[in-house]
């Protein structure tokens, strides 16, 4: 097994001397507030140490000083240097980082016999999200992670043996659900037989309505060994093959932020093995400053994904949580990057939707920027909505150069509300 690092054993990273003392201290300061974990594979194979700190995978995995507000950073740094208690500062900063965006905690929890079901979300009619408790961690953590609170011990899901029973009972009663989306953390961190506990029962006739099983994962980037040399790699590939042969569409929803993550021979071999199971690979990624805010990076990434057999699916706008200030881009810029990237690739890469924001009312895609009757506007489309009637409805917002999220936008043409606010 490869070694895993955090703030406590940072000094044992073989390449750490390539960072200055101040850079090392900065990692420790920020890691007090936000999760930090990185493994030897990422360090040795994905990061170009000649290009640190600008290297995109370094930015993706190592905490950066700019991720905290300058005042907060200085205060915390000073306390750490002086070996003073930091707990109260850390808690205060965390609370200021919008730990639970888009009503995730309160609005989407399904119930069974009037009991709330932990570890599940049912926001859009046809899709249920399932967060198996054993899958709520990752092989490394992304600096921009929007699920960061669960990795710092806040709001963690406890495993219970009745977890799969709850999931299956809920799905059995909800024939409108066609898609199960297993997510995390990273569900691929689970042992294969645990994953099988949730998924194999879906082959029974009462689950015929569950046509599609999606598994969200970043394991292709952070631990492609999962499909090659883990002791249950073969069992995992067998499980996927079996689900496909028995008529399920299995979609591996890969999370890839930069083409650098899928260049290693081992990542390419992992992709080949996954494709051999008959599963379909799709990719989704947020657009993140310092990591992939460049149309050429996206164009190259999509083209490479298509070549390897991964279908580009979503480009997301970074959510309004965590170190968003460091990673966010204005909406007009996100649209420009998408547009400049999509023009460079062939139609096979143009399956990617976005840039899209996952907001409280739904997923909102920026479709364009134009002028209508003398007013400059964003053309928006509701891709997914709590109310299924509203899906794919187009609407308009006043153009605003500073807007980074739906909350920053106002309806165009002097209207007082967006259509979904009625
Ligand atoms: C994106 C998302 C889905 C799936 O939407 P698709 O457009 O079908 O990919 C389901 N639930 C939630 C909460 C989501 O954010
Ligand atoms: S893989 Fe996903 S859940 Fe895990 S750290 Fe990255 S963004 Fe967060």
Angle between the N-to-C axes of helices 233-245 and 192-199, in degrees from 0 to 180, rounded to the nearest 10: 20
Q: Provide residues with CB under 6 Å of ligand 2.
A: 138, 141-142, 145, 147, 184-186, 218, 255
Give the number of domains in the chain.
2
Structural domain that includes position 68: 4-95
Both 88 and 116 in one domain: the answer is no
User: What does the DSSP assignment read for 382-411?
Assistant: EEEESSGGGTTEEEEEE--TT--SGGG--B
Both 72 and 126 in one domain: the answer is no
Torsion of CA 236, 146, 2, 229, to 10 degrees: 10
The rounded distance, in Å, linking the Cα atoms of 144 and 38 is 14
Both 145 and 75 in one domain: the answer is no
24, two tokens = 């090392």
Domain with residue 128: its CATH number is: 3.20.20.70
The rounded distance, in Å, linking the Cα atoms of 7 and 38 is 10
Both 45 and 181 in one domain: the answer is no
Nearest Cα to Cα of residue 59 among 352, 260, 270, 296: 260
Ligand 2 centroid to residue 142 C-alpha, Å: 5
Both 194 and 64 in one domain: the answer is no
Ligand 1: does its nearest atom lie under 6 Å from the Cβ of 130? Answer: no
In a domain, 107, yes or no: yes
Predicted TM-score (pTM) of this structure: 0.95
Instruction: Name the closest-CA residue to atom 3, ligand 2.
Output: 185
Both 53 and 90 in one domain: the answer is yes
Both 56 and 106 in one domain: the answer is no
Ligand nearest to the CA of 42: 2
Residue 155's pLDDT is 63
Instruction: Name the closest-CA residue to atom 6, ligand 1.
Output: 384
Ligand 2 centroid to residue 151 C-alpha, Å: 10
Instruction: Name the closest-CA residue to atom 5, ligand 2.
Output: 141
Task: Point out which residues pair with 184 in neighbouring strands.
Answer: none
DSSP 85: -
Ligand 1: does its nearest atom lie under 6 Å from the Cβ of 313? Answer: no
> What are the φ and ψ backbone dihedral angles of 146, each rounded to 5 degrees?
-85, -10
The number of helix segments (H) and strand segments (E) in the chain equals 14, 15
Burial 97-117 (b: 16+ CB within 10 A, else e): bebebbebeeebebebeeeeb
Asked if 291 and 60 touch (Cβ cutoff 8 Å), the reply is yes
In a domain, 293, yes or no: no
- Counting Cα atoms < 13 Å in the Cβ hemisphere of 274 gives 27
In a domain, 179, yes or no: yes
In a domain, 315, yes or no: no
State which H helix or E strand residue 217 sits in. Answer: strand 212-217
Both 190 and 161 in one domain: the answer is yes
Distances (CA, A) of 13 to 19, 77, 102: 11, 22, 37
In a domain, 381, yes or no: no
In a domain, 219, yes or no: yes
In a domain, 414, yes or no: no
Residue 127's pLDDT is 97
Distances (CA, A) of 268 to 221, 306, 381, 382: 10, 12, 35, 35
Instruction: Name the closest-CA residue to atom 7, ligand 2.
Output: 145
Start-to-end CA distance of the chain, whole Å, equals 54
Asked if 124 and 174 touch (Cβ cutoff 8 Å), the reply is no
Ligand 1 centroid to residue 384 C-alpha, Å: 7
Which of 104, 140, 142 should be mutated for ligand 2, with most atoms under 8 A from CB? 142
Both 162 and 145 in one domain: the answer is yes
Which of 278, 301, 329 delimits the end of a domain?
A: 278
In a domain, 160, yes or no: yes
> How would you write the pLDDT of the chain (422 residues) with one tens digit per residue?
679 999 999 999 999 999 999 999 999 999 999 999 999 999 999 999 999 999 999 999 999 999 999 999 999 999 999 999 999 999 999 999 988 876 555 667 898 888 888 899 999 999 999 999 999 999 999 999 988 988 887 766 666 767 899 999 999 999 999 999 999 999 999 999 999 999 999 999 999 999 999 999 999 999 999 999 999 999 999 999 999 999 999 999 999 999 999 999 999 999 999 999 999 999 999 999 999 999 999 999 999 999 999 999 999 999 888 889 999 999 999 999 999 999 999 999 999 999 999 999 999 999 999 999 999 999 999 999 999 999 999 999 999 999 999 999 999 999 999 999 97
Ligand 1 centroid to residue 121 C-alpha, Å: 10
Both 123 and 12 in one domain: the answer is no
Both 78 and 166 in one domain: the answer is no
Task: Classify strands 115-116 and 393-398 as parallel, antiparallel or unpaired.
Answer: unpaired
Both 129 and 84 in one domain: the answer is no
Which of 278, 296, 312 delimits the end of a domain?
A: 278
The rounded distance, in Å, linking the Cα atoms of 407 and 42 is 36
> What are the φ and ψ backbone dihedral angles of 229, each rounded to 5 degrees?
-125, -5
Residue 114's pLDDT is 84
Which of 95, 127, 158 delimits the end of a domain?
A: 95
């Amino acid at each position: 097994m490869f070694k895993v690092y955090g703030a406590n054993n940072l000094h044992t990273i073989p390449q750490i001397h390539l960072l200055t003392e101040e850079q090392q201290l900065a990692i420790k300061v920020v890691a007090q507030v936000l999760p930090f974990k990185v493994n030897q594979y990422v360090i040795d194979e994905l990061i170009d140490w000649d290009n640190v700190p600008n290297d995109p995978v370094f930015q993706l995995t190592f905490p950066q000083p700019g991720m905290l507000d300058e005042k907060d950073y200085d205060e915390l740094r000073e306390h750490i240097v002086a070996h003073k208690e930091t707990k109260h500062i850390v808690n205060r900063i965390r609370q200021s980082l919008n730990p639970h965006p888009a009503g995730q905690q309160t609005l989407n929890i399904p119930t069974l016999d009037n009991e709330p079901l932990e570890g599940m979300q049912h926001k859009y009619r046809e899709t249920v999200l399932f967060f198996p408790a054993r899958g709520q961690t990752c092989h490394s953590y992304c600096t921009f992670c929007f699920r960061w609170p669960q990795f710092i011990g806040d709001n963690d899901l406890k495993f219970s043996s009745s977890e799969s029973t709850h999931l299956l009972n809920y799905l059995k009663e909800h024939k409108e659900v066609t898609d199960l989306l297993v997510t995390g953390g990273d569900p691929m961190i689970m042992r294969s037989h645990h994953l099988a506990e949730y998924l194999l029962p879906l082959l029974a006739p009462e689950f015929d309505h569950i046509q599609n099983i999606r598994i969200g994962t970043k394991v292709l980037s952070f631990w492609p060994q999962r499909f090659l040399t883990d002791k249950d790699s073969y069992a995992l590939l067998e499980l996927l093959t079996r689900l496909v042969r028995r008529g399920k569409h299995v979609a591996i929803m890969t999370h890839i932020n930069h083409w650098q993550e899928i260049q290693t021979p081992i990542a390419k071999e992992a992709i080949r093995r996954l494709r051999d199971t008959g599963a379909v690979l799709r990719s989704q990624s947020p657009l993140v400053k310092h990591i992939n805010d460049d149309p050429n990076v996206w164009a190259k990434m999509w083209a490479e994904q298509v070549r390897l057999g991964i279908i580009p699916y979503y480009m997301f706008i970074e959510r309004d949580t965590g170190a968003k200030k460091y990673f966010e881009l204005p909406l007009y810029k996100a649209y420009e990057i998408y547009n400049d990237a999509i023009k460079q690739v062939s139609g096979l890469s143009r399956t990617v939707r976005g840039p899209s924001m996952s907001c409280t009312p739904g997923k909102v895609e920026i479709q364009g920027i134009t002028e209508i009757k003398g007013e400059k506007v964003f053309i928006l489309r509701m891709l997914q909505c709590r109310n299924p009637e509203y899906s794919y409805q187009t609407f308009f917002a006043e153009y605003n150069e500073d807007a980074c999220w739906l909350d920053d936008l106002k309806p165009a043409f002097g209207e007082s509300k967006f259509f979904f606010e009625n």
